[in-house]
Amino acid sequence: MPLLKVRNVTKRFGGLVAVDDISFEIRHGETMAIVGPNGAGKTTMFNLINGVFLADEGQMIFEDVDVTHFPSYRRAHLGIGRTFQIPRPFASATVRENIAIGGMFGAAGSEVNVDEALEMADHYIELIGLTPHRDKPAGGLTPIEKKMVEIARALAMKPRLLLMDEAMAGMNPTDIDKMVEFLKDIRDKEGIAIVAMVEHIMRAVAGLAERVLVMHQGAKLVDEPTQEALSDPKVIEVYLGKPAEEFHA
């Protein structure tokens, strides 16, 4: 049984069809990348999965529960976590409080009290290497640190599906490799399925994802294992441009 089933989902904004009749599945514990050029509908797809937007048509089943009409906080309780492209930590709260908030209200929220959540937070702070900044307000951190806090906060929610919006944008290759290793480690240890949205960092896609869903103008172009997707002529044409030899020919 898949973790998430997306069936014929469509989302329109006025006359614009941002997501057009898309179907796919996410399996337990897999890593998948949603890629596509700017405007392909990736962000809308993400917002549909975690309930920031509700679908106009179609259905979404998360572990046997029809979540199509669930608001985002109820999807979070079921185990859908998310990070934002531009990190959005709660600026006045400390790093520790930020991460604890994830634990308190996420999928494990109903069984976790404030003290337990704060203790849990320490574990994740160590994991992301921010122990020296534990009691500082998150608003004062560097962008990369904020990004790490956001990932830790999402992990503290104990999600079974983690949606990562451009987690590696703006990073240098060394940091990307580190982040890929970090995420793979999380996936293996905690059994979380990770769906990463990536616009143009193929290094991250190739390193992290087992499977790639390529979107183009709101529709699904291909949904294949990573290597095949990246060498698929359709993908290359709409997304990566024409192969170099065609220019030289």
Partner 1 sequence: MMRHLQKYSPILPVLLAYGVLLGIGLAYPGKWQLIAQLAFYCALGQAFNLFMGMTGYVDFGYVAFLGVGTYGMAVSIYFLYDKGLGIGLIFIGLALAAVFSTGLSLAVGAVALRLRGAYFAIATIGVNEGFRYFVEGARIWNGADGMIFSRHLRKAVGRETAMTLSTQWADILVFGVAVLAAILTLVYMRNKVGYALTALREDEDAAKVMGINVTKFKIIAFITSAVLAGLLGASAWALKLTYVYPEDVFEIHYTVEAIIIVLLGGAGTLLGPIVGALIYGASKYFLAIVLPGFQLLIFAPIIIVIIVLFPEGTVGILKKKIRGTALEKFII
| 73 interacts with partner 1 by CB under 8 A | yes
Of the ranges 16-24, 96-104, 206-214, 228-236, which one interacts with partner 1 (CB under 8 A)?
Answer: 96-104
* Closest CB 77 distance from partner 1, rounded Å: 5
Q: Which of 72, 85, 177, 199 binds partner 1 (CB under 8 A)?
A: 72
Cβ count near 208 (within 10 Å): 25
Q: Which of 5, 7, 12, 77 binds partner 1 (CB under 8 A)?
A: 77
Residue whose pair of structure tokens reads 């996420």 in the numeric block: 106
User: What is the DSSP secondary-structure string of 108-161?
Assistant: TGGG--HHHHHHHHHHHHHHTT-GGGTTSBGGGS-HHHHHHHHHHHHHHT--SE
| 92 interacts with partner 1 by CB under 8 A | yes
Residue whose pair of structure tokens reads 């979404």 in the numeric block: 60
* Closest CB 13 distance from partner 1, rounded Å: 17
| 157 interacts with partner 1 by CB under 8 A | yes
**Per CB under 8 A, which of residues 32..71 are in contact with partner 1?**
50, 52, 71
187 Cβ neighbours under 8 A, 6+ residues apart: 29, 31, 193, 194
| 11 interacts with partner 1 by CB under 8 A | no
DSSP assigned state of 186: H
Q: Which is nearer to partner 1, 114 or 144 (CB)?
A: 114
| 143 interacts with partner 1 by CB under 8 A | no
Residue 137 amino acid letter: P
Instruction: Output phi, psi for 218, to 5 deg.
Output: 85, -15
* Closest CB 199 distance from partner 1, rounded Å: 21
Measured CA distances, 126 to 113, 121, 122, 130 (Å): 21, 9, 6, 6
**Per CB under 8 A, which of residues 101..120 are in contact with partner 1?**
101-102, 104-107, 109, 113-114
Binding site for partner 1 (CB under 8 A): 50, 52, 71-73, 76-77, 82, 84, 88-93, 97, 100-102, 104-107, 109, 113-114, 153, 157
